[in-house]
């Protein structure tokens, strides 16, 4: 008998299965996209931090696959994880268009061209 493992989201409290609908392992909440800092990617191995990982942005790989970039709210480590089929599409799109909606330069420069 296959037993499904779950975890509780550190931000919104949702009980989440560790496998997404496609059968891939998931490490973030599909509702709010937050995660918990369990792996230390810099030192390798388990992390003692265990703080909340906030979704920061979207990275698109050469293959076209999307990844959620997370930053630890305690130690600032950056990680990424694959987007799951049931992830909150509104939050994903907000993160994807943020650089266009809030550029680091004034947009009125383009009006002169």
Quickly list H helices, the chain. Answer: 89-101
The torsion angles phi and psi of 100, rounded to 5 degrees, stand at: -80, -35
> What is the Cβ-side half-sphere exposure of residue 50, based on CA atoms within 13 angstroms?
1
- The stretch 35-42 carries a mean pLDDT of 80
pLDDT at position 100: 87
Interval 71-84 mean pLDDT: 94
Task: Identify whether 110 is part of a domain.
Answer: no
CB-based contact 74:37 (threshold 8 Å): yes
Instruction: State which residues form the domain around 13.
Output: 6-100
Alpha-carbon distance of 69 to 53, in angstroms, equals: 9
Count of domains for the chain: 1
For residue 63, being part of any structural domain is answered with yes
pLDDT at 46: 74
End-to-end CA separation in angstroms for the chain: 66
């Amino acid at each position: 008998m296959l037993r499904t493992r779950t975890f509780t989201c550190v931000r919104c409290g949702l009980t989440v299965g560790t496998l997404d609908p496609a059968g891939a392992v998931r490490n973030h909440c599909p509702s709010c996209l937050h995660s918990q800092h369990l792996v230390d990617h810099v030192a390798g191995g388990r992390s003692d931090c265990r703080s909340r990982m906030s979704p920061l942005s979207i990275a698109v790989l050469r293959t076209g696959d999307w990844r959620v970039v997370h930053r630890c709210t305690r130690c600032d480590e950056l990680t990424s994880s694959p987007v799951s089929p049931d992830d909150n599409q509104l939050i994903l799109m907000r993160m994807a268009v943020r650089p266009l909606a809030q550029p680091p330069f004034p947009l009125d420069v383009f009006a002169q061209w």
